Structure 1
Amino acid sequence: MSGLGELDRPETPRGPGAREGAGGEDVGGEDVGGEDAGRAGRGGRQSPPASAVRRSAADPVKGLLHRHRELCERAVDPLEIAAGLEAHGVTDRTAARFRHRDVFSLAEEMYARVPRDGDTPARPEDGPAPRPVGPRAAGFVLALLPGVLCGAAVAGLRLTDGRPRLITAAVAVLAVSLALGAALRRGPLSAATRTTSTWTCWLLGYALLGDGLMRTAVSGGPDGLPDGSPDGAWPVTLAPVLALTLSYAPAAGCAHLFAAGARRKLSSSRGLTDFSASVRPLLLGTFALYLGALTALLTLTGAVLGEPADWSQGLSLGALLLLARLLGVHGHTHAGPLVLTATAAAEAAALATVFAGRLPGCGFLSAPVEALVAACGPAGVPTAACGVGALTLLVHACRRLTRASAHASTERTR
């Protein structure tokens, strides 16, 4: 699930005389010893020539450099080579077989030994080039735009009635969707992931309309419009959706802080274990920071709109969407869409079982959902579905986003 393409596929030893070191890299044999390493006999009893053994002992990195030459040539710094080696399964223990204390020092030697046309290696003391202010300001405006447009849409829905309200709702949905799509195409949350817009729209739509539909379905409806609905309109829950759109800006900021912090720790760490141990608290802290911002927004929007603050549903959905996007940003493009699809399917199945339970002899189908609604209210269904999905992605992110290979190229794409 790493999403790094060929770097995620460990290579197998290419010769019968190759020995596999810790982590899956070939140590010795024809790959490390050079092209003219000795060929083993039919039963593995024939030893390689003495010249190949001396050459391998004198320069153990040469064969490794030959195997990963393409990686080394396109790398912009040694850290990217270290991340690529880790994706191949090279560990600090494997690096010791190449006479290096860790993967990072091995990557530094490989980076220095690959010739580049007119390029000079970046020196650690050289700071990053200053970024233009214009694109950063544009990204900040785009991050705020979905929340601003959603707030304007909510105000328009409160001030209109009848057909103008329907037109306002249609225009609002289109405007917010376009703004959110533009914001997701650049900035810290931009990623070339598999399409998830359908399931994301379903989850947001359920947060807007699902509670009213579930409440009506459990009570025996709908037979037209729900009883007690103001002005004959379907009951909607605006506060969670408004809070989630407003939380895009904090989410983008948290994603930037995580990527920048991980990059700094990648520069200062001297081992893969050390890096993973230092990035895991950073990931959890960033996640908690976003949940804190979303909690404040849910409280604020609930108070302004006069709706009861239901933190569980909004927090579980926000956590699910953030983690799915973070995994996609850092190259893991399969887990997020899969969990989003399963979560949306669970919500749809919950509604379907309630209606299916009305068929003769099928009351047992709706019993679990009705029990959950009776205990936790209609919000219990999306809270349970999104909560399980978010917990699954959090465990997966703690494994994948703490690897050096997840941060190999994030700095270049920002």
Structure 2
Amino acid sequence: MTIDSAGRGTAAPLRDGDSARDGLHGTHGPAGRRGAVDPVKALMHRHRELCERAVDPLEIAAGLEAHGVTDRTAARLRHRDVFSLAEEMYARAARDGEAAPRTGTPGPSGPRSSWAALALVPGTLGAAVVVGLRLTEGQPRLAVAAFGALVIASGPYLAFRRGPLSTPHRTTGAARAWTCWLVAYALVGDGLLSAARDGGPHGSWPLATAPVLALCLACAPAAWCAHLFADRARRRLSASRGLEEFAASVRPLLLGALALFMSALCGLLALCGTALDEPPAFAGAGALGALLLLARLLTARGFSHVPGRALAGAGAVEATALASVFAARLPGCSFLAAPVDGLVDAAGAGTVPALACGAGALVLLVQATRTLTRASAHAQPSPPP
């Protein structure tokens, strides 16, 4: 245990094998002698900061899990699971004055008009940009497209500043840049790739406005699905009596929230494709929507490393596909475009974003089923609206 500037003990991670340090066996010094008699008291001293700031036993249980305490550790402390151990620690901290006075147990934040209204902003801005593109031609259309790209990029930033998908100080600049690139590719990538394979582009090329508009409109169902998942997971955390039981009960919630979002996105893709008389791009835009939602869910819960890598990987694949087609025009370099040509000839230009974003979404889905099913991922309610 280390001592911080305020003189309080800071807990070190506790693992199943740390029996010599968790108070189950005697150690040297006063704390060790006290731990040999009362191992729970020793554990409370090791995690004193956690006990001080906890507002309910669930937060202590989640914090213990984050530090490596499992149900096996709790069994050695004569408790059936981590939740039971956390309840005793919470009660004893309040009784012994180890923690500050509680102000009540907060529940999960409910749907509020503030973030619910903000979630509609990207769809509104996207619709305005599409209308502008449809009403202009030539140079004014290019200006509208450039300005519209900036407007659409700012939409999610405004929409997710609050609510269940907010990521305060967690999203890196690189992740934002790759996200903008992926959305930009959804707008211009397929058309540019097809034009490049035909020796162009000669002038302008077709823009895929329907998929981008659908993705903008899908920000609202994404926020609601994330809220639904966080709310139901918090309730399961209150009802569960073990970490494995909690993980098993939350995993279907995660998959259900993702399936609900994908259903809404597919419906929006079909609607926008029909309204704008464009291909809906179910594969490419659907894979991108799943990738962006999973990345946001993980980042909102503090797991930002893998989402950043997945976004960068998908964007790099799309950029490489475009670059290889243009590089194949150099003398003796025609072989560079062979993989992309074979893929596009077999299944169309939309296969490139579908495979790139689909692979990234699959990686994030595996990561989400491992991390978002932990109690520590739901220790705190979603940021208040």
The reply to whether TM is greater than 0.5 is: yes
**Which amino acid in 2 is paired with 1:189?**
L
Pick the aligned partner of 1:180 from 146, 156, 166. 156
Pick the aligned partner of 2:369 from 398, 403, 412. 398
Asked if 1:69 is matched to 2:48, the reply is yes
Structure 1 CA distance, aligned partners of 2:150 and 2:69? 48
SS in 1 for 2:30: coil
Cα deviations by residue, 1:45-93 (Å, 9 ceiling, x for unpaired) = xxxxxxx4xx546422011111000111111211111111111111111
SS in 1 for 2:346: helix
Identity %: 56
Range that drifts further, 283-292 or 154-163 = 154-163
Cα deviations by residue, 1:76-121 (Å, 9 ceiling, x for unpaired) = 2111111111111111111011111110011111112222676247
Aligned partners of 2:284 and 2:350 also within 8 Å: yes
Matches within 5 A, 1:229-268: 233-268=204-239
Matches within 5 A, 1:195-214: 195=172, 196-214=175-193
Identify if the C-alpha distance between structure 1 residues 356 and 179 changes in structure 2 by more than 3 Å, giving closer, same or farther.
closer
Matches within 5 A, 1:236-315: 236-315=207-286
Pick the aligned partner of 1:191 from 136, 158, 167. 167
**Which amino acid in 2 is paired with 1:80?**
E
Equivalent residue, structure 2, for 1:228: none
Structure 1 CA distance, aligned partners of 2:180 and 2:298? 19
SS in 2 for 1:29: coil
5+ residue gaps in structure 2? 1-9
Structure 2 CA distance, aligned partners of 1:303 and 1:88? 52
Identify if the C-alpha distance between structure 1 residues 118 and 345 changes in structure 2 by more than 3 Å, giving closer, same or farther.
closer
Shift of 1:176: 2.9
SS in 2 for 1:147: helix
Identify if the C-alpha distance between structure 1 residues 183 and 26 changes in structure 2 by more than 3 Å, giving closer, same or farther.
same
SS in 2 for 1:234: coil
Equivalent residue, structure 2, for 1:355: 326
Structure 1 CA distance, aligned partners of 2:80 and 2:299? 32
Name which one, 1 or 2, has greater alpha-carbon Rg. Answer: 1
Range that drifts further, 335-344 or 172-181 = 172-181
**Which amino acid in 2 is paired with 1:74?**
R
Range that drifts further, 288-297 or 400-409 = 400-409
Identify if the C-alpha distance between structure 1 residues 362 and 161 changes in structure 2 by more than 3 Å, giving closer, same or farther.
closer
Aligned partners of 1:316 and 1:383 also within 8 Å: yes
Shift of 1:413: 4.4
Structure 2 CA distance, aligned partners of 1:379 and 1:59? 63
Shift of 1:295: 0.3
Pick the aligned partner of 1:88 from 43, 48, 67. 67
Structure 1 CA distance, aligned partners of 2:295 and 2:74? 33
**Which amino acid in 2 is paired with 1:59?**
D
**Which amino acid in 2 is paired with 1:263?**
R
Aligned partners of 2:160 and 2:166 also within 8 Å: yes
Structure 2 CA distance, aligned partners of 1:364 and 1:129? 56
Pick the aligned partner of 1:10 from 3, 10, 13. 13
Identify if the C-alpha distance between structure 1 residues 105 and 342 changes in structure 2 by more than 3 Å, giving closer, same or farther.
same
Structure 2 CA distance, aligned partners of 1:338 and 1:118? 40
**Which amino acid in 1 is paired with 2:65?**
E
Cα deviations by residue, 1:124-178 (Å, 9 ceiling, x for unpaired) = xxx84997x9xx2222221111101211211121112234333433443333333
Equivalent residue, structure 2, for 1:119: 101
Identify if the C-alpha distance between structure 1 residues 116 and 36 changes in structure 2 by more than 3 Å, giving closer, same or farther.
closer
**Which amino acid in 1 is paired with 2:367?**
H
Asked if 1:109 is matched to 2:88, the reply is yes
Cα deviations by residue, 1:206-243 (Å, 9 ceiling, x for unpaired) = 00000011111222223x32xxxxxxx32111111000
5+ residue gaps in structure 1? 1-6, 14-18, 38-51, 226-232
Structure 2 CA distance, aligned partners of 1:9 and 1:372? 52
Shift of 1:337: 0.9
SS in 2 for 1:119: coil
**Which amino acid in 1 is paired with 2:101?**
D
| Number of corresponding residues | 370
Matches within 5 A, 1:313-332: 313-332=284-303
- TM-score (norm: length of structure 2): 0.89
Aligned partners of 1:143 and 1:248 also within 8 Å: yes
Equivalent residue, structure 2, for 1:35: 30
Structure 1 CA distance, aligned partners of 2:144 and 2:340? 34
**Which amino acid in 1 is paired with 2:235?**
R
Structure 1 CA distance, aligned partners of 2:258 and 2:132? 33
Please give the root-mean-square deviation of Cα atoms over the aligned residues, in Å.
2.5
Shift of 1:392: 0.5
Aligned partners of 1:34 and 1:62 also within 8 Å: no
**Which amino acid in 1 is paired with 2:18?**
E
Cα deviations by residue, 1:291-337 (Å, 9 ceiling, x for unpaired) = 00000000000000001222101110000000000000111111111
Equivalent residue, structure 2, for 1:386: 357
Asked if 1:217 is matched to 2:213, the reply is no
Structure 2 CA distance, aligned partners of 1:389 and 1:35? 52
